[in-house]
Structure 1
Amino acid sequence: MSDETHICNKQVQNDATSCTSTQKQAHIPHTNFLAMIASQIFVVILIAGASALPIATAKITLVVCALILLTFLTFWPLHGNVIDRAIALLSCIASAWCATLALKGWLPQSVIIDNETVSMSKFIAAIRPYERWAVSFALILVAATFITFLRQMLRENRTNLVRNLSHTLTASIACAALPGWMFLPSIIRFMPSLRNTDGGIFVAALCILMVILLSGLSYLWVRNNCKNYYENNVTRDVAISLLPIMFSGMLIYIAGLGMLVVA
């Protein structure tokens, strides 16, 4: 009888602790929250400012992306070990290498001739880097998924398989998407030549809005993953706040395609 009572009391105590923990973790410390916002604003201003320089090239943006990647891998906020970080790192290196090759040389600053007609040769030259990187990105995702799944299957103890698989894939996709910011200098140079100015402004505004909304998700990720992340660890929360910025590389890529469409 005493054993049953002890078990019941222990279960009630665990439930109470779980409830208290959930309530406690419903809020992020103000210091962490401000650090996350400051980090996101600083990174976006840094990469946008570097892309807007008169001498800006994809290589300059690549340097900023490398700093973001280094910060993320150093503070690594997800579950996993060195192997998982290596998979994410290789995904970014492969993606950046493909983007660098795709953006090799100067892209046309305009696809318009005689202020009215769209030059198909210039349009094809402008859209070809986007096609090449899209194919490369898809292949990288397939390879990362296969390697991540194989890595999990080779583990002797396959506990938390789905969680570990999803965390490694999330990091790999974010790292592979990060080089999408390398298209930003070409987009900025291309914008003044748009015939449909309103369309270009709409695409730019929509992209900025999506980046802001995506950045706000990092707050929800930290708050909802209380058991794993709520440790008053500022560096971990800052690393999580970088994930939306890294994913936003795909938004920049899509915005570039949108600019070509409305040109």
Structure 2
Amino acid sequence: MVEQTQPDSTLPHRPYRGVLAVQVIALVLLVGASLLGQFALFLEVPLCVAAMAAFTIFWPFRGTWTDRVLGVLAGLISLVFALNALGSGTLYPSLNANDALTIAATPLIHWACVYVMLLALFTVIGFARQMARKERTDLLRSLSQSLTGMVAMASMPGWLFVVVAASCVSFTGPGTWVAIAVSVIALALMVLMVIASRFWLKDFDPDPAVPAPWVGIALLPVMLLGLVAFAATLALLLCQYGPIFVD
């Protein structure tokens, strides 16, 4: 007689409708906030902070509080340098520029440099932490999950730069069709990331002690899409002010 196995009631509930609802609400708020002109950052900054806080609480990976603290640290550093790039520029060298493209794109380039340095730094830290473990079981999984959390947190402030495109880019002129193509590609990537989260929801293995880790899975693509928002903004600026498209 074959013994029938009962479903494990300790497994986390994984409601895809809830995941989709969180993602749609977050994306609508982030994109909508960027259209508020000079008031955009007053809403986008709290949204970014709230998303990073929720991701930390509902951490969707197995790991220790050290992983979460490092993720928070990466996110806060990225956020500070993004705000400084969009604001005073105190943390960056002064730039005397005359052409519109350089003036508009400089904040994005500054933050991109900081982002790359953050990735390098936290990759080294993550690898060193794994090498320091006495038992190095599931080494690759632990390293990849820890780095994924840090990358997601550091990427979230990329959403702040959408306000640059919203204020500087107009869909008229020689680069109109290219700008439309960039926007369509960004939207397609957004949809693909949302679809991918359904597969992540089936396969992820969170810490049983974490409450509602599916919220973290829902926020993961939203946070990673900060890089897409940043790249799309930079591409739109090139379409607007690039020498190829300027008369």
Determine the C-alpha separation between the residues in 1 that align with 2:211 and 2:202: 13
Determine the C-alpha separation between the residues in 1 that align with 2:135 and 2:207: 26
Q: Is the 8 A contact 1:194 1:200 kept in 2?
A: no
Determine the C-alpha separation between the residues in 1 that align with 2:143 and 2:180: 39
Query: What residue is the counterpart of 1:238 in the other structure?
Result: 215
Please state if 1:163 is matched with 2:141.
yes
**What's the offset of the Cα at 1:230?**
11
Determine the C-alpha separation between the residues in 2 that align with 1:105 and 1:201: 31
Q: Please, what TM-score do these two structures have when normalized by structure 1? A: 0.78
Residues 30-70 of structure 1 deviation map (CA, whole Å, 9 limit, x = unaligned): x7010000000000111122221244343531211000001
Please state if 1:85 is matched with 2:89.
no
Return the letter of the residue paired with 2:76: I
Query: What residue is the counterpart of 2:185 in the other structure?
Result: 206
Determine the C-alpha separation between the residues in 1 that align with 2:235 and 2:54: 30
Match of 2:45 among 62, 70, 73: 62
Deviates more, 1:185-194 or 1:143-152: 185-194
Q: Is the 8 A contact 1:223 1:230 kept in 2?
A: no
Determine the C-alpha separation between the residues in 1 that align with 2:219 and 2:69: 18
**What's the offset of the Cα at 1:229?**
4.9
Distance 1:120 1:262, change over 3 A: farther
Which structure 1 residue ranges, 4+ long, deviate > 3 Å from structure 2? 57-60
Determine the C-alpha separation between the residues in 2 that align with 1:197 and 1:153: 51
Q: Is the 8 A contact 1:179 1:249 kept in 2?
A: yes
Distance 1:214 1:147, change over 3 A: same
Query: What residue is the counterpart of 2:160 in the other structure?
Result: 182
Determine the C-alpha separation between the residues in 2 that align with 1:68 and 1:172: 14
Return the letter of the residue paired with 2:203: N
The structure in which a higher percent of residues are helix is 1
Distance 1:194 1:105, change over 3 A: farther
Q: Is the 8 A contact 2:58 2:211 kept in 1?
A: no
Q: Is the 8 A contact 1:87 1:148 kept in 2?
A: no
Higher relative contact order (CA 8 A, sep 6+): 2
Greater Rg over alpha carbons, structure? 1
Q: Please, what TM-score do these two structures have when normalized by structure 2? A: 0.83
Please state if 1:221 is matched with 2:200.
yes
Identity %: 28
Residues 89-146 of structure 1 deviation map (CA, whole Å, 9 limit, x = unaligned): 111111111111111169xxxxxxxxxxxx9621111111121111110000011101
Which blocks of at least 5 consecutive residues in structure 1 are unaligned?
A: 1-11, 107-118
Determine the C-alpha separation between the residues in 2 that align with 1:56 and 1:192: 19
Cα RMSD between the aligned structures?
2.8
